Amino acid sequence: MLPSRYTIGARIFGAFVAMSLIIGALGLGGYAVLSAAGNIAVTTFDGPLMAISYARAAHTDFAEMQIAQLHFEQAATAERPAIRDEIDELAANFQADLQVANERASSDDERRLIGEIFPLSKRWQAARARGDGRILERLDRRIDARFDMLIELITDHSFVSRRKTVSNVGYYKYASIAATVLALLLAAAITLLLRSRIVRPLSSAAAIADRIARGELQTPIPPGGQDETGALLRSMTVMQDNIREMMARETALRRSAESRLMEALETSSEGVILLAEDGKIALANGTLRGFFPVIARSLVAGVHFETAQQLICGQLAPGRSWAGSIASDPVELELADGRWLRAAGSKTADGDTIILLSDITAIKEREDKLRRATEVAETANAAKTRFLTNMSHELRTPLNAIIGFSEILSSQLFGALGNARYRDYAQDILRSGRHLLAVINDVLDLSRSEAGKMTLQVQPVAMAVVLEDCVAMVREQCAQAGLSLRLGRIDAGHVMGDAAKLRQIFLNLLSNAIKFTDPGGSVSLEAVGEAGEVIVRVSDTGIGMSAEDIEVAFRPFGQVDNRLERRYEGTGLGLPLTRALVELHGASLAVDSAPRQGTRVTVRFAAAMGGTECAPQAATA
């Protein structure tokens, strides 16, 4: 046993040295056992086991070569090259497996048999190449016989190795058990020694520390000896004195913090009520009493909150009340003098409840102004709708007459006009009238869309038919503009939508592409169905747009170029109306463009479920 004058560190170091010696000895013994067992396992596996495995694999390869040769003899001439390649591949595997078996063979007898199989296999390959069936049959029997003898011989050698391995493992097992038992006994002896010299004094010190931790700051601490335990007890004495001083400082700081908190609450712009767990007011600041000057004397500590709540309800505007759970959602209270307060409550970590009352009169005034402004805007929007409805009738009536008479004049229905210029003028009037009518229709459609009054006659629509109609309508326009119209893949199914509105969507997109593409350029259209969607893409090689231009183009009456001498005509209604119609169909529209790089517009529709068997229905924006 270690003398008592030694320090704990010396004792632990001595125990460590002893345990290290034990563990080292046990480790060396275990290493020797594992090394011997590993060598046996390697010898057993690398020798007989791997030799017999690869010998059987080579035998299997040869059997497959025999079967393939039978197939070769019975196969048609066209099939024989493939079978010949298969036999060559099997022969390569056969040679590789037999070579491994030869390398792992553990006796000269095994290697002699393998050495006989190699030339026999080469003779078999030569006979196969000549097509000599009689020699092949004789070589088959000889090779199979050699394999049977080889496998039986390797098996016998493997059995002998196994018996030797089992015997050695048994010896090592008992040796390991004995070494382990001895190590455990020595470790137990060292542990008992450390317990009597180290653990017992430390347990006594820990008991004293527990009493101090429970608040028994006057617990006596013995002086202790000269080792680490004595140093620990002396440190605990210093710690005990420090804790006493710290507790005194914390008490003073807590009182100071409470004083500052009360000052902050009194100067807060919000009314504060702190309720104890029994429902009585523990604290109420001056701002709260300022909100309710008539009942200020009743909003003090000690008053039950239900009483205070009833008094506050008496200060509210007629028809207003404050009821329900204190910690529920915020409640807005209108006072009799027109002010508004918002009351919100929450639980604290101590189980108390804190209620904050904020003056939201200014917020309510802004909300009222916003509501009145919204009403004015809605009234103006309704007036705009009525104006557009009336103007549409007033404009369409003369326009229909202008368009009708200009059609009669341009077609010379009642005879020649005399001068060819009159016919040109009539055609100009007809085109301008139709353009103006289209603008009016776009304005009305956009107005109905913004008002949520645009409707769809929804039914299954074949997208390919709609796109073919649109292409036919713009083909002449493309030719006049000097553009090529390229049709890509049109492989789309049905969508649920309004056929007329769908034509309007793609006519607008194609017209825009034609309008903003210089002569010599191209406009392309494709439609595909994928992943439950119908995707239509309209692309052009035109002037393109920046991200800022795209945002402007989708605003009603938005023009990317607003100069008086701008090159491209238009009202700025096509794209906003197109997007409104797309969204009305539950679809999406995306624009990919860059200046002088052209534009590609992608529209994605949900494919109709069940094809054309869906029942028609109506949809309203």
Is residue 566 over pLDDT 70? no
The H or E element that residue 405 is part of is: helix 361-411
Is residue 501 over pLDDT 50? yes
Phi and psi at residue 366, to the nearest 5°: -65, -40
As a whole number of angstroms, the distance between CA 154 and CA 113 comes to 11
pLDDT tens for 402-418 read: 777 677 777 776 667 77
Q: Which of 8-22, 117-131, 474-488 has the highest mean pLDDT?
A: 474-488
Token pair for 76: 């048609």
What percentage of the chain reaches a pLDDT higher than 90? 11
Tell me which CATH code domain 454-620 carries: 3.30.565.10
- Give the residues across from 534 on adjacent strands: 529, 605
Q: Which of 222-226, 258-262, 602-606 has the highest mean pLDDT?
A: 602-606
More confident residue, 400 or 568: 400
As a whole number of angstroms, the distance between CA 178 and CA 196 comes to 28
pLDDT tens for 460-473 read: 999 999 999 899 88
Is residue 2 over pLDDT 50? no
3-class DSSP assignment, residue 277 = coil
3-class DSSP assignment, residue 427 = helix
Quick one: average pLDDT of 353-382? 85
What percentage of the chain reaches a pLDDT higher than 70? 79
Q: Which fold has domain 362-453?
A: Helix Hairpins (1.10.287)
3-class DSSP assignment, residue 545 = coil
- Give the residues across from 171 on adjacent strands: none
Model confidence band, residue 534 (pLDDT cutoffs 50, 70, 90): very high
Is residue 601 over pLDDT 60? yes
Q: What's residue 291's pLDDT? A: 81
Q: What's residue 445's pLDDT? A: 65
CB-based contacts of 403-410 (< 8 A; 24+ apart in sequence): 403/430, 403/433, 403/434, 403/437, 406/430, 406/433
Q: What's residue 156's pLDDT? A: 77
pLDDT tens for 60-86 read: 888 888 888 888 888 888 888 888 888
Position of tokens 């409805």?
Answer: 389
554 contacts 577 by C-beta, under 8 angstroms = no
506 contacts 499 by C-beta, under 8 angstroms = no
State the virtual CA torsion across 539, 545, 551, 557 in degrees, nearest 10: -90
By DSSP bridging, strand 533-540 and strand 599-606 are: antiparallel
By DSSP bridging, strand 522-530 and strand 588-593 are: unpaired
DSSP state string for 486-542: EEEEEE--EEEE-HHHHHHHHHHHHHHHHHTS-TT-EEEEEEEEETTEEEEEEEE-S
Q: Which of 94-108, 254-268, 281-295 has the lowest mean pLDDT?
A: 254-268
pLDDT tens for 213-250 read: 777 777 777 776 666 777 777 787 778 778 878 888 88
- Give the residues across from 358 on adjacent strands: 342
Token pair for 571: 């009202």
55 contacts 150 by C-beta, under 8 angstroms = yes
Q: What's residue 439's pLDDT? A: 67
Which sequence spans correspond to the domains of the chain? 8-192, 268-359, 362-453, 454-620
Position of tokens 């125990």?
Answer: 15
Supply the mean pLDDT for the chain. 78
Q: What's residue 504's pLDDT? A: 86
More confident residue, 314 or 528: 528
Amino acid at 371: R
More confident residue, 530 or 221: 530
User: Does the domain at residues 268-359 carry the CATH identifier 3.20.20.140?
Assistant: no
User: Does the domain at residues 8-192 carry the CATH identifier 1.20.120?
Assistant: yes
